[in-house]
Amino acid sequence: MRTLEEVQATLQIAKLKEEDLQKTIHCLSFGENVSSADYCLMELDDTLCKHIQAGQSLVIRGDADERAVLCSGDKTYDLKIADTSNLLLFVPGCRTPDQLTNSQESSHLVHTQIWGFCNSYWELKRQRPRLKKLKAILMENPYEGPALGGQKENTENRYSMQDLLDRIQSSQDELKTHLKTIHACQIDGYWRVLDFDYEMKLLGHVTQLVDSESWSFNKVPLQTSLDELAPLEPKEMIEHCLDCYGKRFTENDNVFYALHEDKVCQSTALLLLQNAVKFNLREFQEVWQQSVPEGMSTRLEQLKSVALVDRASRPETICLLRVEDLSEDTLERFNHLFTIREKWTEEDITPYIQDLCGEKQTTGALLTKYARSSMQNGIKEHKLTRCCPAGCPHGGGLCDIFNMTSTQWQVTTACAG
Amino acid sequence: MELLSGSADGTSPPEWLMVELQGEMVSRHDSGLAGNVMGDLLYTKEGTPVLIVGHHILYGKQDVTHVAMETNQQGPTSTSYTVSALITRKLIFKTRPKPIITNVPKKV
């Protein structure tokens, strides 16, 4: 072990004056068991740091074939290893100048051990949770209503909350929010998604009751609905339907629901659209308006992100295109969208890329990155950008060189990403 | 699924200091790092960290960082890790090490 005299001799040779230095000198040495293998370094943001300081846990989720994500209670992060050419040493017992008391009169040594070192660390990047899998696994066994007669209910492929948390790469809060979005509910302790036809059947019962009782859509009484519809469907399912399609409120100790016109109209449209590849737009709009409950008005805006209107074709058409059916990967999504349609206006494409945006990203930024815009007839349109093949990091399928055939398009020589 | 826990009793993990150096550190006789002296760490009155390693002297600065570290807990089959420490400060030595001249030839 080095002595104070040895250190002071070194200082003298190094031409450092003791009076310019603080009194505490750390003599660093490597611990006997030091290695880089024992420790794993991870970069945290402020929120996660406070999380750990409060003694809370983080979970790493992912199947063997998926990229791992880190989850706190309400956020999801991508994990990426970052290499550095710098050497990072961990020194538990070492103090920084502001932590030293400096009460000592003379110089003294503190023998401090280096416990470990690293050349790399995990970088965390906040990202949207991977929730597409959630609907996919719940659709393995959608709930079609209570078992009829002597039929036995299918009990395979049912998932509890814990099962879902094990399989889905998302924080718990984000998972719960998505369960609500896809109208899932708990039945016998398992989370189930409803078969669409069954869901529409429930909605039909409710809207027909509202019609026959001449209630306002904004004030549907819960108890009366449950009593009247009990012979037809389980009370829990009626109430679930009201929760999905209405807003609950209380007045004079009675519970009511205000039905969402937009949600009801949208689901009615989906029911019609799922039966054919394309519809004549005018005909569709007529049938759609006739199919929704009396008093509700249909508007094409209600179908943003679930249906695509083609105003360029003669006659104009509409078809089903749900954003939830598209890839979660940004590049794949853009590829798919531009295969469906070569050019998009910002208005048409925004509902289909909105969910891809990062924390502080706008759809405009995404379009700038992945597409090229041009003006036609005063309307700005976007085309997919192709990358140069040589050395393009994107690889696979997207590398073509554009030929300029019209003044509207621009040859891309720079990589999109 | 792997679990990273803060600590068993809900308290904050200890805080360690990180020292960041550019390049690689090797021992003089290739005897490995374990058990060997690395160098002397001093601070000037203004708070600048100074590191003397072998016959080099490096000047650095103090910086803020947010980093956590885990070690394996309960053996290789467990998927539970505890955070050993939080690192919020580091000393970074980015400047070129200056050689300390020990032998000044006498003027003839």
Each residue of A273-301: b (16+ CB within 10 Å) or e? beeeeebebeebbeebeeebbeebebeee
Q: Which of A27, A88, A168 would you mutate first to test chain B, the one with the most B CBs within 10 A? A: A88
- Residue A117: how many CB atoms within 10 A of its CB? 21
Residues whose CB is less than 8 angstroms from the CB of residue A361 and which lie 6 or more positions away in sequence, other chains included? none
Chain A CB within 8 Å of residue B36 CB: yes
Q: What is the torsional sign of CA A399, A405, A409, A414?
A: positive
CA dihedral A285, A291, A294, A295 (to 10 degrees): -40
Is a pLDDT exceeding 50 seen at residue B102? yes
A and B: number of Cβ contacts within 8 A: 190
**Strand, coil or helix: what is A20?**
helix
Chain B CB within 8 Å of residue A402 CB: no
- Residue A320: how many CB atoms within 10 A of its CB? 19
Does a cis peptide bond (omega within 30 degrees of 0) precede residue A315? yes
Per-residue pLDDT of chain A (417 residues), as tens digits, is 788 888 888 888 888 888 888 888 999 988 887 776 677 888 888 888 888 888 788 888 887 788 888 999 899 999 888 888 888 888 888 888 888 876 667 888 889 988 888 888 888 888 888 899 999 999 999 999 988 776 777 788 899 999 999 889 999 999 999 999 999 999 999 999 999 999 999 999 999 999 999 999 999 999 999 999 999 999 999 999 999 999 999 999 999 999 999 999 999 999 999 988 899 999 999 999 999 998 899 999 999 999 999 988 899 999 999 999 999 888 899 989 989 988 888 889 999 999 988 777 888 888 888 888 776 666 677 777 654 434 444 443 333 333 323 223 333 333 444
Chain A CB within 8 Å of residue B69 CB: yes
Start-end of H helices in A54-168? 132-138, 161-167
Q: CA-to-CA distance for A362 and A352, rounded, in angstroms?
A: 13
**Domain A196-259 class?**
mainly alpha
Chain A contact set for B71 (CB, 8 A):
38-40
Using the beta-carbon criterion (under 8 Å), do A42 and B70 form an inter-chain contact? yes
Model pLDDT, residue A414: 39
Model pLDDT, residue A260: 96
Each residue of A16-33: b (16+ CB within 10 Å) or e? beeeebbbbbbbbbbbee
Is a pLDDT exceeding 50 seen at residue B81? yes
* Structural domain spans, chain A: 4-58+76-123, 196-259
Q: CA-to-CA distance for B9 and A56, rounded, in angstroms?
A: 10
Model pLDDT, residue A184: 96
Q: CA-to-CA distance for A118 and A103, rounded, in angstroms?
A: 34
Q: For residue A51, what is the nearest residue in chain B, using CA coordinates?
A: B6
Judge if ipTM > 0.95: no
Chain A contact set for B57 (CB, 8 A):
14, 16
**Which among A150, A152, A175, A153 has a CA at the least distance from the CA of A164?**
A175
Interface of A with B in 197-226 (CB under 8 A): none
Model pLDDT, residue A85: 86
Q: CA-to-CA distance for A107 and B39, rounded, in angstroms?
A: 17
Interface of A with B in 34-93 (CB under 8 A): 34-35, 38-46, 48-49, 51-61, 70, 85-92
Q: For residue A27, what is the nearest residue in chain B, using CA coordinates?
A: B40
- The amino acid that residue A201 corresponds to is K
Q: What is the pLDDT of residues B30-41, one digit of tens each?
A: 667 777 888 899
Model pLDDT, residue B55: 84
**Strand, coil or helix: what is B56?**
strand
Chain A contact set for B11 (CB, 8 A):
55
